[in-house]
Amino acid sequence: MKTSVVLSPAKVNLYLKVLSRRPDGYHNLQSLVDIISLSDIIHIEDIPGNEIILEDDRNVLPRGEGNTVFRAVRALKETTGVRRGIRIFIEKKIPIGSGLGGPSSNAAAVLKELNSHWELGITKEELNAIGGRIGADVPLFLHGRPCIMEGIGDIINPVVLPHMWYVIVYPNVSISTKAVYEGLRIVLTKEHNDIKLMGNFSNPGEIARILENDLEQAAIKMCPQVQSIKDVLKGTGALGSLMSGSGSSVFAVFDNEEEARLASLSAINEMWTVFIAHSVQGGVH
């Protein structure tokens, strides 16, 4: 039976502005996103029949319809008419409910790999259409490069970012994205953002000056540890720090690996999980 292994990278939102609420209940966003080296490892294996078997090493992922990877594989099979069995095993490194995009990244990685694994010949546009139905961040990870996301994540514009190092702290608390959006207390009237992000960023310091996340205050009310982590990271010499996505992970930006590794020692806490990662220009494949 044919097997393959693929990396599924995390992301951080360097800038996230909530612009307006849509008639369908979703929100229009503008977000500057970097793809980072923290990755899940996905093992894919053909099996007899037509079943989709999904497992993970920590037994933390939902099964069946509740799982983005399951829905992605099912959608791919329905679109192409393929009737083949597949077993997918995920080594989880990206925490669940952390704002680092693990489920969407997993779905995108499996879609791309199965397109090759099964020799389907699906175009990028067709994969994006499938991914967009699975989750808002799936098109981002299908693109696999630093970008500016707009709309509900379906409008992707590539951008060049400097190479950066990150210390990422997860408080071991999962936050509901839905609950964070329901807790927003900002005026949502803009169709487009006034701040232009299309300029070139030549160094991490320029990125640090634009760090902003409209979801952060709502998340802090649900998970005060987010603020505690930010306070700790501010004292490490970081260029800046911010919560990623809808939380609960907080990252700090550094110029180089040595500074990041030194700073990570200050963030060690028995209640938190600390990662060191760096930008991955062009994504992880």
Beta-carbon count within 10 A of 64 CB: 10
Residue tagged active-site, from 34, 40, 56, 137: 137
Q: Classify residue 115: in a domain, yes or no.
A: yes
Cα-trace Rg, the chain: 19
Domain that holds residue 200: 160-278
Residue 80 Ramachandran class (φ > 0 left, ψ -120 to 50 alpha, else beta)? alpha
Shared domain for 58 and 133, answered yes or no, is yes
Structure confidence at residue 156 (pLDDT): 93
Q: Classify residue 17: in a domain, yes or no.
A: yes
Q: Classify residue 21: in a domain, yes or no.
A: yes
pTM across the whole model: 0.94
Cα distances (Å, whole numbers) of residue 264 to 8, 196, 229, 260 = 23, 32, 11, 6
Confidence of residue 282 (pLDDT cuts 50, 70, 90): very low
pLDDT digits (tens, 9 = 90+) for 242-268: 999 999 999 999 999 999 999 999 999
Shared domain for 175 and 136, answered yes or no, is no
Shared domain for 22 and 72, answered yes or no, is yes
Judge whether 77 counts as a catalytic residue.
no
Please state, for a pLDDT cut of 90, what percent of the chain lies above it: 85
Cα(8)–Cα(34) distance, integer angstroms:
14
Judge whether 124 counts as a catalytic residue.
no
